Amino acid sequence: METLFILHGWGSCAENWKGIKQSLESKRLKVAVPDLPGFGQAPPLKTAWFVDDYVQWLKDFCETENISQFFLFGHSFGGRLAIKFAAKYPEKLQGLILCAAAGIKPKKNLLILAIAKIGKIIFPYPFCRKIFYSKILRKTDYLKAQGIMKQVFKNVIEEDLTPYLAQIKVPTLILWGEKDKMTSVKNGYLMKEKIKNSQLKVFEGIGHSLRRENPQLLIKEIQDFLS
Protein backbone atom coordinates (compact mmCIF):
# COMPACT_ATOMS: atom_id res chain seq x y z
CA MET A 1 0.00 0.00 0.00
CA GLU A 2 1.36 3.41 -1.00
CA THR A 3 1.79 6.09 1.67
CA LEU A 4 1.04 9.78 1.11
CA PHE A 5 2.24 12.38 3.59
CA ILE A 6 0.36 15.71 3.45
CA LEU A 7 1.85 18.96 4.75
CA HIS A 8 -0.87 21.58 5.27
CA GLY A 9 -0.51 25.32 4.70
CA TRP A 10 0.13 28.16 7.11
CA GLY A 11 -2.73 28.67 9.56
CA SER A 12 -4.34 25.39 8.51
CA CYS A 13 -4.43 22.05 10.32
CA ALA A 14 -5.02 18.34 9.86
CA GLU A 15 -8.75 18.72 10.49
CA ASN A 16 -9.12 20.77 7.30
CA TRP A 17 -7.74 17.85 5.29
CA LYS A 18 -9.99 15.22 6.89
CA GLY A 19 -12.25 14.91 3.84
CA ILE A 20 -9.35 14.55 1.41
CA LYS A 21 -7.70 11.99 3.70
CA GLN A 22 -10.87 9.88 3.97
CA SER A 23 -11.50 9.95 0.22
CA LEU A 24 -7.94 8.89 -0.61
CA GLU A 25 -7.88 6.17 2.03
CA SER A 26 -11.03 4.70 0.53
CA LYS A 27 -8.92 4.13 -2.60
CA ARG A 28 -6.49 1.81 -0.76
CA LEU A 29 -3.99 4.52 0.06
CA LYS A 30 -2.42 5.21 3.45
CA VAL A 31 -2.52 8.92 4.24
CA ALA A 32 -0.70 10.78 7.03
CA VAL A 33 -1.82 14.35 7.78
CA PRO A 34 -0.37 15.53 11.09
CA ASP A 35 -0.73 18.98 12.57
CA LEU A 36 2.54 20.77 11.91
CA PRO A 37 4.23 22.06 15.09
CA GLY A 38 2.62 25.33 16.14
CA PHE A 39 -0.68 24.62 14.35
CA GLY A 40 -3.94 22.84 15.10
CA GLN A 41 -3.76 20.54 18.11
CA ALA A 42 0.05 20.36 18.09
CA PRO A 43 1.80 21.82 21.15
CA PRO A 44 2.80 25.48 20.79
CA LEU A 45 6.39 26.15 19.85
CA LYS A 46 8.76 27.33 22.59
CA THR A 47 11.26 28.83 20.15
CA ALA A 48 10.86 30.42 16.73
CA TRP A 49 11.47 27.66 14.19
CA PHE A 50 13.04 27.95 10.76
CA VAL A 51 12.36 25.85 7.65
CA ASP A 52 15.17 23.48 8.63
CA ASP A 53 13.49 22.80 11.98
CA TYR A 54 10.29 21.71 10.25
CA VAL A 55 12.23 19.57 7.78
CA GLN A 56 14.05 17.84 10.66
CA TRP A 57 10.74 17.35 12.45
CA LEU A 58 9.28 15.64 9.37
CA LYS A 59 12.30 13.36 9.08
CA ASP A 60 12.06 12.41 12.77
CA PHE A 61 8.28 11.89 12.54
CA CYS A 62 8.62 9.51 9.60
CA GLU A 63 11.32 7.52 11.36
CA THR A 64 9.22 7.29 14.53
CA GLU A 65 6.23 6.08 12.54
CA ASN A 66 8.40 3.66 10.50
CA ILE A 67 7.53 5.41 7.25
CA SER A 68 10.57 4.75 5.09
CA GLN A 69 9.30 5.44 1.56
CA PHE A 70 6.39 7.71 0.72
CA PHE A 71 4.89 10.31 -1.58
CA LEU A 72 5.02 13.85 -0.21
CA PHE A 73 2.33 16.50 -0.82
CA GLY A 74 2.75 20.09 0.29
CA HIS A 75 0.29 22.96 0.00
CA SER A 76 1.50 26.56 0.27
CA PHE A 77 3.64 26.70 3.44
CA GLY A 78 3.64 22.90 3.43
CA GLY A 79 4.98 23.07 -0.11
CA ARG A 80 7.85 25.21 1.13
CA LEU A 81 8.80 22.48 3.59
CA ALA A 82 8.31 19.76 0.97
CA ILE A 83 10.73 21.47 -1.43
CA LYS A 84 13.57 21.47 1.05
CA PHE A 85 12.79 17.97 2.33
CA ALA A 86 12.82 16.59 -1.21
CA ALA A 87 16.17 18.25 -1.93
CA LYS A 88 17.76 16.98 1.29
CA TYR A 89 16.26 13.49 1.53
CA PRO A 90 15.44 12.24 -1.98
CA GLU A 91 15.99 8.62 -0.92
CA LYS A 92 12.87 8.78 1.23
CA LEU A 93 10.52 9.92 -1.53
CA GLN A 94 8.72 8.07 -4.29
CA GLY A 95 7.29 11.29 -5.65
CA LEU A 96 6.49 14.91 -4.79
CA ILE A 97 3.35 17.01 -5.26
CA LEU A 98 3.63 20.78 -4.86
CA CYS A 99 0.28 22.57 -4.69
CA ALA A 100 0.44 26.39 -4.81
CA ALA A 101 3.77 25.97 -3.04
CA ALA A 102 5.51 28.83 -1.27
CA GLY A 103 9.29 29.10 -1.20
CA ILE A 104 10.15 31.56 -3.97
CA LYS A 105 11.12 34.82 -2.30
CA PRO A 106 9.50 37.72 -4.17
CA LYS A 107 11.32 40.90 -5.04
CA LYS A 108 10.85 43.69 -2.52
CA ASN A 109 7.66 45.59 -3.18
CA LEU A 110 8.43 49.33 -2.96
CA LEU A 111 4.76 50.14 -2.36
CA ILE A 112 4.55 47.79 0.63
CA LEU A 113 7.78 49.21 2.08
CA ALA A 114 6.41 52.74 1.68
CA ILE A 115 3.14 51.79 3.43
CA ALA A 116 5.11 50.27 6.30
CA LYS A 117 7.13 53.46 6.77
CA ILE A 118 4.04 55.64 6.58
CA GLY A 119 2.32 53.47 9.18
CA LYS A 120 5.17 53.90 11.65
CA ILE A 121 5.15 57.67 11.20
CA ILE A 122 1.40 58.21 11.39
CA PHE A 123 0.62 55.62 14.05
CA PRO A 124 3.24 55.44 16.83
CA TYR A 125 1.31 52.78 18.76
CA PRO A 126 1.56 49.13 17.54
CA PHE A 127 -2.16 48.35 17.87
CA CYS A 128 -3.02 51.36 15.70
CA ARG A 129 -0.51 50.30 13.06
CA LYS A 130 -2.00 46.80 13.04
CA ILE A 131 -5.44 48.23 12.19
CA PHE A 132 -3.90 50.47 9.51
CA TYR A 133 -1.99 47.60 7.88
CA SER A 134 -4.99 45.27 7.96
CA LYS A 135 -7.11 47.86 6.16
CA ILE A 136 -4.49 48.69 3.55
CA LEU A 137 -2.90 45.28 3.05
CA ARG A 138 -5.97 43.23 4.00
CA LYS A 139 -5.53 40.27 6.29
CA THR A 140 -2.20 38.53 5.90
CA ASP A 141 -0.78 35.40 7.49
CA TYR A 142 1.59 37.56 9.52
CA LEU A 143 -1.18 39.73 10.97
CA LYS A 144 -3.21 36.66 11.89
CA ALA A 145 -0.26 34.91 13.56
CA GLN A 146 -0.16 34.91 17.34
CA GLY A 147 2.78 35.14 19.72
CA ILE A 148 5.97 33.39 18.67
CA MET A 149 4.38 32.32 15.37
CA LYS A 150 4.90 35.87 14.07
CA GLN A 151 8.65 35.35 14.32
CA VAL A 152 8.31 31.85 12.83
CA PHE A 153 6.54 33.41 9.86
CA LYS A 154 9.35 35.95 9.44
CA ASN A 155 11.94 33.19 9.67
CA VAL A 156 10.43 30.93 7.04
CA ILE A 157 9.59 33.57 4.43
CA GLU A 158 13.08 35.04 4.68
CA GLU A 159 14.61 31.93 3.12
CA ASP A 160 14.52 31.71 -0.67
CA LEU A 161 14.31 28.05 -1.70
CA THR A 162 14.89 28.67 -5.41
CA PRO A 163 18.41 27.14 -5.29
CA TYR A 164 16.96 23.87 -3.96
CA LEU A 165 14.59 23.34 -6.88
CA ALA A 166 17.29 22.04 -9.24
CA GLN A 167 18.35 19.56 -6.55
CA ILE A 168 14.99 17.78 -6.62
CA LYS A 169 15.33 14.56 -8.62
CA VAL A 170 12.14 12.67 -7.75
CA PRO A 171 9.10 12.74 -10.09
CA THR A 172 7.22 15.94 -9.27
CA LEU A 173 3.68 17.14 -9.98
CA ILE A 174 3.07 20.88 -9.64
CA LEU A 175 -0.54 22.05 -9.23
CA TRP A 176 -1.59 25.70 -9.38
CA GLY A 177 -4.70 27.84 -9.61
CA GLU A 178 -4.70 30.39 -12.39
CA LYS A 179 -6.27 32.98 -10.06
CA ASP A 180 -3.98 32.35 -7.09
CA LYS A 181 -3.30 35.69 -5.39
CA MET A 182 -1.28 34.26 -2.50
CA THR A 183 1.45 32.45 -4.43
CA SER A 184 1.74 33.63 -8.01
CA VAL A 185 1.30 31.08 -10.79
CA LYS A 186 4.57 32.48 -12.15
CA ASN A 187 6.25 30.57 -9.34
CA GLY A 188 4.70 27.38 -10.66
CA TYR A 189 6.27 27.95 -14.07
CA LEU A 190 9.63 28.67 -12.43
CA MET A 191 9.42 25.44 -10.43
CA LYS A 192 8.57 23.53 -13.60
CA GLU A 193 11.64 25.03 -15.27
CA LYS A 194 14.01 24.27 -12.40
CA ILE A 195 12.78 20.79 -11.39
CA LYS A 196 13.83 18.52 -14.25
CA ASN A 197 11.50 15.57 -13.74
CA SER A 198 8.33 17.61 -13.26
CA GLN A 199 4.99 18.46 -14.81
CA LEU A 200 2.85 21.54 -14.21
CA LYS A 201 -0.93 21.72 -14.29
CA VAL A 202 -2.66 25.11 -14.07
CA PHE A 203 -6.40 25.19 -13.42
CA GLU A 204 -8.65 27.95 -14.74
CA GLY A 205 -10.94 29.65 -12.26
CA ILE A 206 -9.08 28.22 -9.23
CA GLY A 207 -7.38 30.37 -6.59
CA HIS A 208 -5.01 29.44 -3.78
CA SER A 209 -6.95 26.55 -2.24
CA LEU A 210 -7.66 23.70 -4.65
CA ARG A 211 -8.71 21.63 -1.62
CA ARG A 212 -11.63 23.96 -0.87
CA GLU A 213 -12.52 25.06 -4.39
CA ASN A 214 -12.47 21.69 -6.15
CA PRO A 215 -11.60 18.81 -3.80
CA GLN A 216 -12.62 16.12 -6.28
CA LEU A 217 -10.20 17.50 -8.85
CA LEU A 218 -7.41 17.49 -6.28
CA ILE A 219 -8.19 13.90 -5.31
CA LYS A 220 -8.15 12.83 -8.96
CA GLU A 221 -4.81 14.53 -9.63
CA ILE A 222 -3.25 12.86 -6.59
CA GLN A 223 -4.61 9.43 -7.56
CA ASP A 224 -3.45 9.77 -11.16
CA PHE A 225 0.04 10.78 -10.07
CA LEU A 226 0.38 7.94 -7.59
CA SER A 227 -0.94 5.27 -9.96
Regarding whether 94 and 171 lie in a shared domain, the answer is yes
What pLDDT, on a 0 to 100 scale, did the predictor assign at position 107? 66
User: What's the domain range around 17?
Assistant: 3-105+159-226
- Find the length of the chain: 227
CA angle 118–120–124, rounded 5-degree value: 135
Mean pLDDT is lowest, of 49-53, 106-110, 140-144, 219-223, for: 106-110
Regarding whether 139 and 210 lie in a shared domain, the answer is no
Number of domains the chain contains? 2
95-149 pLDDT, tens digit each: 999 999 999 987 654 444 454 555 455 555 565 555 544 444 444 676 677 899 9
Mean confidence (pLDDT) of the chain: 88
Q: What is the pTM of this model?
A: 0.86
Kindly state whether residue 152 falls inside one of the protein's structural domains. Answer: no
Q: What does the buried/exposed string (b/e) look like for 63-93 if buried means 16 or more CB atoms within 10 Å of the residue's CB?
A: eeeeeeebbbbbbbbbbbbbbbbbbbeeebb
Regarding whether 210 and 171 lie in a shared domain, the answer is yes
**C-alpha dihedral (137, 141, 143, 145), degrees to nearest 10:** 180
37-46 pLDDT, tens digit each: 999 999 999 9
Regarding whether 28 and 100 lie in a shared domain, the answer is yes
Contact 42, 35 (CB under 8 A): yes
Which of 184, 146, 33, 159 has its CA nearest to residue 87?
159
Name the strands in the sheet holding 70-75, side by side, starting at the edge strand that comes first in the sequence. Answer: 30-32, 3-7, 70-75, 93-99, 172-177, 198-203
Regarding whether 61 and 20 lie in a shared domain, the answer is yes
Please, is 172 exposed, middle or buried when counting C-beta atoms within 10 Å of its C-beta (0-12, 13-18, 19+)? buried
Regarding whether 132 and 120 lie in a shared domain, the answer is yes
Kindly state whether residue 154 falls inside one of the protein's structural domains. Answer: no
Regarding whether 111 and 35 lie in a shared domain, the answer is no
63-96 pLDDT, tens digit each: 998 888 999 999 999 999 999 999 999 999 999 9
Kindly state whether residue 83 falls inside one of the protein's structural domains. Answer: yes
Question: Can you tell me the mean pLDDT for 172-181?
Answer: 97
As a whole-number percent, the residues of the chain with pLDDT over 70 amount to: 84
Q: How far is Cα of residue 80 from the mean position of the Cα atoms in its chain? A: 5
Regarding whether 90 and 32 lie in a shared domain, the answer is yes
Q: How far apart are CA 195 and CA 170, in angstroms?
A: 9
2-12 pLDDT, tens digit each: 999 999 999 99
Regarding whether 113 and 101 lie in a shared domain, the answer is no
Regarding whether 116 and 99 lie in a shared domain, the answer is no
